[in-house]
Structure formats: structure tokens, C-alpha cells
Amino acid sequence: MSERPEKKILDMAHERDKLAAVLSSMAEGVLALDTDGKTFLVNSAACNMFGINRERALNKHVREVFNNDQLDTLVKETLKSGDAHTLETPDLLPGETVFRLHITPIKGSKGSLGVAITARDITELKRLEKIRVEFVANVSHELKTPLASIKGFVETLKDGALEEPDTARRFLSIIERHANRLNNLISDLLSLSKIESGQIPLELKKIRLLPFINKLIGTFDDRIREKEHTVTVDIPKGLTYIYADKALLDQALANLLDNAIKYTPPHGKITISASEEDGQIGLAVSDTGIGIPEADLARVFERFYRVDKARSREMGGTGLGLAIVKHIALAHGGTILADSKPGLGSTFTITFPRLHGEA
């Protein structure tokens, strides 16, 4: 005995509801087109992704929905050949949003029913890929430059410069400097990688600020004296302690102090200060150095970004110091801010959330 028509209708309605539920829950945008290229299905994700009104989009040709010649061409090719295609394009919406579209044939028992378009926003993936490519290129360049110098001086020594003691000593000193630069670069890369990936668990400890900062300054005494800088510490009486990872805080402030010493002309003034406001503790390093142009300020925390590439390399910078400081601050749930004026100096401020018991 055959199924009753009512049961068939109920089963079909149930299957339709299941399909609708699946499509509604998908993160990818989905549009289905008939053999004329007109939409007969648009899911919620597609409506949100492209700002589409479902009722207005239904039964419209894909060209009317998106006004994109590439997509229109690929839909026609898929309808004609039955082959799937992929399109990556930033041209479906105003701005810089990039979408990856998969155009695939919909086939039934009696042949083609149309095409399905699935869409995914890959803007963030593209941004990360660009960062990765730039990072690899920068690392390669930063490694090759000192290696090329080392190789060149070694070859010169082998060709006879060893017979001239003064020249040999000068060349060996240059080789040592480049080797140290390589070592610093690799150390900074490893440090940044561990901090970014969370491989270094935070060991929050109660740190007495004044002795901690004075000890840090002491490690730079020779360089401070050499450039005849004046270093001042300004900590309010009521702000005695801070909770932080001691090793990471030391690394962050050391990087900032190192930059202040490096980029401040002789007889400069450097101030390390602390403040507390709105539940945040700020630690700032200020200098009377060369300063940073406003156009560069927003990028100084990027890996390998240098305001003055030649000057930075000459002074032994790896281009990673401020990126490390930024990620140390972020690891503590804090922030880092930069304020600078060319010729007047810079102030870098790390902020940390004030924890219970700090005073």
C-alpha cells in the first residue's frame, strides 16, 4: 500500500525545515541560482555578509545582486561546463573586505538545477598572510645583511689581511659586532615568539618599584655616563608596589631605556616615572631625544618597523624591541602608548591593570 499524500507532504516539509535550519546555522554565505542565473535561495549569513535583503534578492539575476563581471562570467561557465570555480575578490562590497567564493554546480537526477555560491570573508586571513610574508622577507633580510658582511671580511682576512695585525684586529672587531647583532636578532625573535604564543606563563609577583627601577638603571650606567645623560626617577610616594612578571617587566623597561639612551644626543635627559589613574598603573620612559614623526608613531610597534633604518642598524637595533614591549604589556592585560615630537623627544608608557593589594 502506497504512502498517503499527507505523509509525503509532511515528510517533505520536515526535510525542507531541516535544510533551512542547516543553511541558517552556517557561517558561510550561501546563494543558490537556477539555470538562468537567478537566485532561489539566500541564507541568513549571506544576507548579513553582503547587506542583502532576502525578499528583494530572490528571483534576481546574480548580476543584479552583486554587479560583479567576474562572478557573472564564472556562474555562466559553471552552468555551461558543470565545472566548479573559485574566486577571491575585494570587489563585492565597498572597502577592503575580501571574499572567497566557491561556485559549484547543483545537479539533480534529470541534469543541472543551477549553481550554488558559498562565500567566506577571508579579509583577516589575507591580512595575516601579508604579515607572514613580510615577516619572512624581513627576517631573511636582517639575517643576510650581517652574514654577508661577516663572509666578506672573512674572505679578506683569508686573502692576506691576517698578515697586517691592525687591519686584522679592525676586521675581527667588525665581524664580532655583526655576530652580536645576529645573536641579538635571534634572541629577540625567540623571545617575541614565546611571548606572542603564550609559551611564557606569567609569574605575577609583588615588585617594589623604586629598587627595581634603580637596579635596572644600574645595568646601563656605563652607557649613561658615556653619553653624559641625566636619568631621573619620579615615583609618587603612595605607589610603592606593582604586581607583574618581574623578568618580563625588566625586559620591557630595559628595551625602552635602551632606546632612550640610544636615540638621545649627549647630555640628554631621561625620566622613568610611575602613575596611577582609573585602576591602571602607568610606567613611562621619557627622553629629550630625536623624536619620531607623527606619521611613523602608529607603526613603531610593528615587527621590524624602523623610522630610520640606517640609523637603527648602525646602533645595533633589531627592529623588534618595541614589538616585544607591546606584547609584554598585552600579556599583562595592559597597553602601550607612544607620544613624540621630532627634535623634542619621546614618551613611551606601559599601563597595567592595578591588582588588589598594590599600593
**Residue (of 115, 140, 66, 123) closest to 304 by Cα position:** 140
Query: What are the backbone angles phi and psi of residue 76, rounded to the nearest 5°?
Result: -60, -40
Mean pLDDT by 10 residues, the chain (359 residues): 59 62 77 92 90 90 91 94 92 86 90 91 88 77 80 86 84 85 81 79 90 94 94 92 92 94 95 91 95 89 75 64 92 93 94 70
Cell of 264: 638621545
Fold classified for 201-359:
Heat Shock Protein 90 (3.30.565)
Reduced to 3 states, what is the DSSP secondary structure of residue 248? helix
Fold classified for 5-121:
Beta-Lactamase (3.30.450)
Distance of CA 174 to the CA centre of its chain: 34
Reduced to 3 states, what is the DSSP secondary structure of residue 8? helix
> CA 128, 132, 135, 136: dihedral to nearest 10 degrees?
-170
Question: Do the domains at 5-121 and 124-200 have one common CATH topology?
Answer: no
DSSP per residue over 18-46, as a string? HHHHHHHH-SSEEEEE-TTSBEEEE-HHH
Cell of 351: 599601563
Domain boundaries, the chain: 5-121, 124-200, 201-359
| Per-residue pLDDT at 1 | 47
If you compute the radius of gyration of the chain from its CA atoms, what whole number of angstroms results?
31
DSSP assignment, residue 316?
T
Enumerate the H helices of the chain as residue ranges: 5-25, 44-50, 54-57, 62-66, 69-81, 123-158, 165-197, 209-218, 221-227, 246-262, 294-297, 309-314, 321-331
CA atoms of 18 and 7, how far apart (whole Å):
16
Specify burial of residue 228 (Cβ count, 10 A radius: 0-12, 13-18, 19+).
exposed
Do the beta carbons of residue 174 and residue 149 sit within 8 Å? yes
| Per-residue pLDDT at 114 | 92
Residue 6, Cβ neighbours under 10 Å: how many? 8
The class that CATH gives domain 124-200 is mainly alpha
| Per-residue pLDDT at 277 | 87
